[in-house]
């Protein structure tokens, strides 16, 4: 199945709360192995084919670090 | 062709917030910004920032406004609205501000039916000062000033703001929502939008209470905090529309 969209994750705004990961219905977000300049891990997309652009991750993000682009 | 279906709201500043990871204030700020964008009223909105964690709210929302002394936000909002009737006045407050030191101002502004919108963020604790007991702290909840858990025989039980305000005649719209999951964030946005729309139409006082996470002071991680709201707070603070005179009419 082709992806319907993708989250654009601004890792520098992220504080690593993980609410996006917990609320992703497809479980395709995971914490990064790297750190941003605050020393915080941030979400990354582990499956680019499955995103439905549902916006759940962006809706839960308190930092506005995620925007959604629909293809 | 691709398009942005969830973009950064124009009414929100790009300044990074000082809030802790997983704090609900960021979500609520974003919802307010989205609503101001959708109603196209950013230019005529005045935000009254409270004392508490959201004391710097004016830095994050691209609107004009004032900073009120602790608890006095509804009184300041009353003054602003009475002299500038064409402006949309929002009073953004936390639980310590709204129900402890500002309980008098809150009740009387509601009772007068001032044409303002109060957005009340209830996280059951004093956040900015480091996690002391608030009027909304749950029975048995441990805080710095209730290390054995809130003892209701000693300090009384948690106060429910919506129920209190619902006893008054004047308020036009009263709703309690939460930001612990996607469904409830969307409901919260609708409630904020309805409340502000009623003010745009000059209908009178609107009050939106929002249950929100305070992971740092609750001593839980953000995901567990969201769960705590669902399992512990929601049964005590029911999520519902208490009054909507616009719907009754």
pLDDT, one tens digit per residue, over A52-63 is: 999 999 999 999
**Residue numbers of A between 8 and 47 with CB closer than 8 Å to B:** 13, 15-19, 22-23, 40
- B249 pLDDT above the threshold of 70: no
Report the DSSP beta bridge partners of residue B91: B48, B118
Helix (H, G, I), strand (E, B), or coil: what is residue B196? helix
Structure-token pair, residue B13: 């500043």
Dump pLDDT digits (tens) for A26-37: 999 999 999 999
Query: Which residue in the set A18, A55, A63 is minimally distant from B6, CB to CB?
Result: A55
**CB-based contacts of B154: which residues, under 8 Å, 6+ apart?**
none
Tell if the CB–CB gap between A62 and B8 is shorter than 8 Å.
Answer: no
Nearest by CB: B2 against A16, A23, A71: A71
**Whether residue A39 has pLDDT greater than 90:** yes
- Residue B220 near chain A (CB below 8 Å): no
Q: How many separate domains does chain B show? A: 1
Mean pLDDT, residues B114-123 taken together: 96
Q: Is the pLDDT confidence value at B217 over 90?
A: yes
Alpha helices (H) in chain B, listed in sequence order? 24-39, 57-60, 73-83, 95, 103-112, 152-155, 161-165, 182-200, 215-218, 222-228, 234-236, 245-248
- CATH code of B30's domain: 3.40.50.970
CA distance A46 to chain B (A): 20
* Confidence at residue A64, expressed as pLDDT on a 0 to 100 scale: 93
Quick one: which H or E segment has residue B48? strand B45-49
Q: Considering Cα of A14, then B43, then B74, then B175, what sign does the dihedral take?
A: negative
DSSP state of B92: E
| Rounded alpha-carbon distances, angstroms, from residue B184 to A13, A21, B28, B127 | 24, 17, 11, 22
Q: Which domain holds residue B80?
A: 24-248
Q: Which distant-in-sequence residues (6+ apart) come within 8 Å of A70 by Cβ?
A: A4, A5, A53, B2, B3, B4, B5
- Which residues 6+ apart lie within 8 Å of A30 measured at CB? A21, A43, A44, A46
Percent of the residues in chain B that have a pLDDT greater than 70, as a whole number:
99
A5-70 CATH pick, 3.40.50.700, 3.90.550.10, 3.40.50.720, 3.30.70.20: 3.30.70.20
* Average pLDDT taken over every residue of chain A: 92
Asked whether residue B67 is assigned to any structural domain, the reply reads yes
The answer to whether residue B13 sits within a structural domain is: no
Angle at B36 between CA B190 and CA A5, to 5 degrees: 70
Asked if the structure places residue B8 within a domain, the reply is no
Q: Does residue A14 register a pLDDT over 80?
A: yes
Residue B53 in any domain: the answer is yes
- Over the stretch B159-188, which tens digit does the pLDDT of each residue have? 999 999 999 999 999 999 999 999 999 999
User: Could you tell me if B149 and B166 are in contact, meaning their C-beta atoms sit under 8 angstroms apart?
Assistant: no
CA dihedral B72, B77, B79, B81 (to 10 degrees): -170
Q: What are the boundaries of each domain within chain A?
A: 5-70
């Amino acid at each position: 199945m082709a992806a319907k969209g993708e989250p654009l994750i601004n890792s520098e705004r992220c504080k690593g709360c993980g609410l996006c990961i917990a609320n992703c219905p497809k479980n395709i977000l995971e914490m990064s192995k790297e750190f941003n300049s605050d020393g915080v891990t941030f979400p990354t997309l582990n499956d680019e084919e499955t995103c439905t652009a549902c916006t759940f991750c962006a809706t839960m993000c308190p930092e506005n670090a995620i925007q959604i682009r629909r293809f | 062709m691709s398009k942005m279906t969830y973009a950064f709201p124009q009414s929100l500043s790009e300044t990074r917030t000082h809030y802790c990871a997983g704090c609900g204030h960021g979500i609520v700020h974003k919802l307010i910004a989205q609503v101001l964008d959708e109603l196209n009223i950013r230019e005529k909105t005045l935000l009254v920032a409270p004392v508490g964690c959201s004391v710097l709210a004016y830095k994050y929302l691209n609107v004009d406004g004032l900073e009120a002394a602790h608890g006095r936000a509804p009184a300041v909002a009353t003054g602003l609205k009475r002299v500038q009737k064409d402006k949309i006045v929002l009073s953004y407050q936390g639980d310590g501000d709204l129900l402890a030191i500002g309980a008098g101002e809150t009740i009387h502004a509601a009772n007068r039916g001032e044409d303002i919108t109060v957005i009340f963020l209830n996280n059951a604790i004093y956040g900015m000062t480091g996690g002391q007991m608030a009027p909304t702290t749950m029975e048995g909840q441990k805080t710095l000033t209730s290390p054995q858990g809130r003892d209701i025989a000693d300090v009384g039980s948690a106060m429910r703001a919506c129920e209190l305000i619902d006893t008054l005649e004047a308020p036009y719209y009263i709703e309690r929502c939460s930001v612990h999951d996607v469904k409830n964030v969307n409901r919260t946005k609708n409630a904020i939008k309805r409340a502000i729309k009623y003010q745009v139409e000059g209908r009178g006082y609107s009050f939106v209470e929002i249950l929100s996470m305070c992971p740092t002071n609750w001593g839980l991680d953000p995901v567990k905090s969201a769960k705590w709201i669902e399992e512990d707070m929601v049964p005590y603070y029911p999520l519902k529309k208490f009054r909507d005179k616009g719907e009754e009419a």
